[in-house]
Structure formats: structure tokens, C-alpha cells
Amino acid sequence: MSSSHSKKIADKRKFFGSLVARTYVPSDSPQRTEVQSPVNTPELRLLLQILQLLNELSDKIDRIERKVFEMDDRISEGLDTSQETAFIKHSVKEIAKSLIESNIYPTKTELRQATAEYLEDNEPDFWAGIKSKNWNT
């Protein structure tokens, strides 16, 4: 998590804390007088409930943001396509080698058949994972 994000969270908590501190005077406080009985007013109780809900929402948003940042990090790590590119290049080269022996200009059907044979023989797990083997290219 970035330091600017952590600072933003701390600023939100400080803001909500200052709002509560300004509106709530504990009953045993010397600053409290009968005239200052804000907790007994329905409006202030409602405001305190709203502030509490806002604080809870802020916490939930913070948790969601953390999860999104973690997912973003995982996705960024997972987007390294060098292995997939190497796999494709190697497979295409091997399929082309096998086809060039029999036909310099293979048809689509021959390409599909050679690809299927190569994958069945050399990459059976990958081949088994392909759901639709009805290629419409």
C-alpha cells in the first residue's frame, strides 16, 4: 500500500475523530453544563449515529481499497507473458518443421491436424484443457 494512501486513511480518521470530539462532551466532563447537554438532543444523537456509520463505511472502503491494491499487484505479477510467448513460438516452429517436410504450403485443415497432433504428443495437459477443439478459423 502506498504512503499517500496510508496518509489519506489517517487524515479521514483524524477528521472523523475531530467531528466527534467537537460534538460530544462526556457526562463527567467539567465543561458540561445543563445548557450544554448535546447528547440529550435527538439531532445530535442522530449526528453521532451518522458519524459512527460514516466511520464504519470509511473502514470498509479502506479494506476494499487494500484488497484492490493487492489484486492489482497480483495481476501485475501475472501479466508476465514471456513464458506464454516462448511456448507459442516454440510450438509454431515445431509444427512448421513437421509440416514443411510434407508440404510447403499446407491447407488450414493440414495446419489444424498438425497442431492437434503436436499438442497431443508434446503438451497433453494443455491439449486436454482446450474445451472446444472445433476450430473455426
* Structure confidence by residue, pLDDT tens digits, 76-99: 776 666 777 888 888 889 988 888
pLDDT winner (highest mean) among 7-21, 38-52, 113-127: 113-127
pLDDT winner (highest mean) among 14-23, 38-47, 117-126: 117-126
**Residue at 125 is within a domain:** yes
Higher pLDDT, 6 or 44: 44
**Residue at 70 is within a domain:** yes
Residue 67 above 50 pLDDT?
yes
The sign of the torsion formed by the CA atoms of 59, 65, 66, 71 equals positive
**Residue at 134 is within a domain:** no
Q: How far apart are CA 82 and CA 90, in angstroms?
A: 12
**Residue at 119 is within a domain:** yes
- Whether 116 and 68 map to the same domain: the answer is no
**Residue at 41 is within a domain:** yes
Structure confidence at residue 134 (pLDDT): 64
- Whether 24 and 74 map to the same domain: the answer is yes
Regarding pTM above 0.75, the answer is no
